[in-house]
Amino acid sequence: MLSYKEKTVTLSNLERKIIENSIRDIKDFPKPGILFKDITTLLNDKEAYGVLMNHLYQRYKEYNLDYIAGIDARGFIFGAALAQMLGIGFVPIRKKGKLPYTTISEKYSLEYGFDEIEVHLDAFSKIPNARVLLIDDLIATGGTANAAAKLINQTGASCVEACFILNLTFCGGSEKLQEITPIYYLIEVE
């Protein structure tokens, strides 16, 4: 069996086109000058969502993962579905104050200040040295993803890779995150 670093599963040109065509651009949202990538149209397109989830399953079925951690809130959509397909657990990484049990948290900077995310202290404790895939819909500046990867590692688990549907390369977040964990994305937006 190939290790996760040796196995490469890529999208075909047709699969990439199906996924790209299902993502809607919204101009000037949430403020003027922003081109928002709306994934709700991908989610309600059964062919595109099926292509996406099948691709993720094929990529990660040989990674020997123990958990998938999804970032609040769109990472929950992809992460929980993929965890079920792989037969492993799902862990939500949430905004501060949303989890009911003892948590650890990590602050990160935004263009206008700071925010904070958290995870349950025992989220990965059932499996020693758990191997965790971090997932979200996109990476932009990377603040949230960096904080999430750090949280996973602080629990004693290992963030083996971070996965995103979109990489907004002009924001530079993927370069920063690669200092903490390998990353994989399906579509690059320049």
Q: How confident is the model at residue 1 (pLDDT cuts 50, 70, 90)?
A: very low
> Catalytic residue numbers?
74, 111
Percent pLDDT > 90 in the chain is 89
Q: Break the chain into its structural domains and give their ranges.
A: 64-189
Q: What angle do CA 90, 20, 45 make, to 5 degrees?
A: 65
The edge-to-edge listing of strands for the beta sheet with 183-189 is 103-110, 113-120, 89-95, 67-71, 131-139, 158-168, 183-189
pTM greater than 0.75: yes
pLDDT(9) > 90? no
Contact 118, 105 (CB under 8 A): yes
Do 2 and 63 meet the contact criterion of CB atoms below 8 Å apart?
Answer: no
Q: What is the CATH number of domain 64-189?
A: 3.40.50.2020
Segment 75-103 shows an average pLDDT of: 98
pLDDT at 111: 67
pLDDT band at 10 (very low <50, low <70, confident <90, very high): confident
pLDDT for 176 equals 94
